[in-house]
Structure 1
Amino acid sequence: MGLSTIGITRATGFVLGAVVNKTLRTPAHRKLVQELRTARRDAGLSQQQVAELLGVPQSYVAKIELGERRIDVIEFLKLVAAMDASWFEILGRIDPVDQP
């Protein structure tokens, strides 16, 4: 008895979806999003301006700020650099242990 390709794809999607959902909208993730939005506003930049600096659509920045899109470390560093902010200060204001 083997798994069909579709069964494997569904199982993988379920597992990966569960992992992603665990990191979205946690208190730490919400705080990161808040800090990134604040850094952009403090820099006097619109989402469109940040997107242009990064060479991405404005919706990319919007989804990050709405907490709908996760970003990896490299994306985080590029985003922070575009806003001329301090990644160290942003991360210093987030408590990764602050979970529900």
Structure 2
Amino acid sequence: MIAQLIPGMKDLKINGKIDSKSEKRSVNTRYGKTFVCDVLLKDESGKVELTLWGDQAGLVKEGDNVEIHGAYTTEWQGITKLNIPKSGEIKKV
């Protein structure tokens, strides 16, 4: 459940609904040019910010129910964030 997420958690399986999604934007990283977008993922317990990179940024839209595998949490400016590594997965359900 989203309300139970704390920074430093790893290999998470999370189900939720995309509550909002920013526009996909192009960014330059040390690995080259890619796309990124920010989404707000919610379930019955709460909401968490999730950043989607590369191909993942175009996979979902607002209102989609999703399942995320292999995610981990970090903290940025006192806020717990959800992240999906390259080995992780997000899919519509």
Q: Pick the TM interval, shorter chain.
A: under 0.3
Question: More strand by proportion, 1 or 2?
Answer: 2
TM-score under structure 2 length normalisation: 0.23
The structure carrying a bigger helix percent of its residues is 1
